[in-house]
Structure 1
Amino acid sequence: MTASLTRRDALALGAAAAATTLFTPHLARAAVPFEQPPLPYDEGALAPQISARTVGLHYGKHHKAYYTKLNELAPGTPYADMSLEEVVKASKKDGKDAIFNQAGQAWNHVFYWDQFKGGPTAPTGAFAEAVTRDYQNVDGLVAAMVAEGDKVFGTGWVWLVADNGKLAIRGYQDAGNPLPDNLTPLVGIDVWEHAYYLDYENRRPEHVKAVLTGRVNWAAAGEKFA
């Protein structure tokens, strides 16, 4: 038995189809498995520590390219239906370096841009107490991160992490980050040359110090620590 489709039926079917799209992420993103999030501020917002030109190239060229390459590599693999964080952890564990390098850099940069939202702030609460306990003060923490960043040979990252309630600093080469080590990332500074060379040339430590003292939202890092 057939019946004509009423306007109410059509609207109901349309709503059901929309719900399927909204609540089935792996289907909704099938054409483009991973999408680069928008920059959370305009390109000039991080000056003078990071110039608008550097942000434009860093976000618009380098960060974008990691997503483009990941979307070429991921289809047809188990990673295509994972979150970006899951891809980072799983590909590292599986020894899939090509996937890990692109996913790691895509994730690292999302974290990198997000940590500057809200502008520079001072540590507070339990996080401030941990900074005092483990590094004496913010200046001591910054100095330790600058020193670790200078040790990273070639390209990489320097991370402040939470490790069983204590703070620690880890330097990683290339796309490395703390996720596969089951550490909680609090602050991550990019020490690839594309992050600083236009503004600081070969003065990497100056770049790391300027970003840590003039751009990082330490209150947001404290929320991650808590």
Structure 2
Amino acid sequence: MASVSGCIKYSMFIFNFLFWLCGIVILALAIWVRVGNDSQEIFSSENLGSSPYAAVDILIAVGAIIMILGFLGCCGAIKESRCMLLLFFIGLLLILLLQVAAGILGAVFKSESDRIVNETLYESAKLLSTTVESDKQFQEAVIVFQKEFKCCGLVNGAVDWGNNFQQYTGLCECLDTQRSCTYYNGKHVYKEPCISYIKDFLEKKLIIVIGIAFGLAVIEILGLVFSMVLYCQIGNK
């Protein structure tokens, strides 16, 4: 009877250990995005609901599942358990297929997602000119974002603030009058609206997610190969 290859066995263990670490990284980064100060400043308004965080919540779940699968793969390799290896293979294959499907859908509907982001920002811009008390938290979050990124308003600049422009002291105040400022309502304010900075912020987060997903896909394919080879070798013992 053929014996189990020690090289395959321990390679399987190493790759699953890396897979388990990837799960931890995904989980940690997703939580960081979920609770990070920048994210809170943009999405903390109750008017935006929980939808901006839906993808991040999914990543948290995926990170936890990957950690479980990595554990199954490690134990299956060391204990030479065909049951654990089969569960690992099936779970890993499903995740890989979901990643591919998500990537295809993301590419196909990229223009649609850009449209949704634009519509969300245009609707959110209306909240800056309201005097409703429930919108104050969102307005204060935008003020903090404006100071950090040196921009004003969400879409149309200082005009977005309407009559509230005079209500906040130092709103959009710009000191560099020669480069990035414009004159509005008796004040020098930042000329650039925050929409471009918000889109850039979202794109940077997306690049992080894509980079992680690509690196993870390579490890997943190797894990599938090693797990099936080891599974067959154990069956031939």
Asked whether the two chains share a fold, i.e. TM above 0.5, the reply is no
The structure with the greater share of residues assigned to helix is 2
Q: Which has the larger radius of gyration?
A: 2
TM-score by length of 2: 0.25
The structure with the greater share of residues assigned to strand is 1
Structure showing greater relative contact order (alpha-carbon pairs closer than 8 Å, 6 or more residues apart): 2
TM-score by length of 1: 0.26
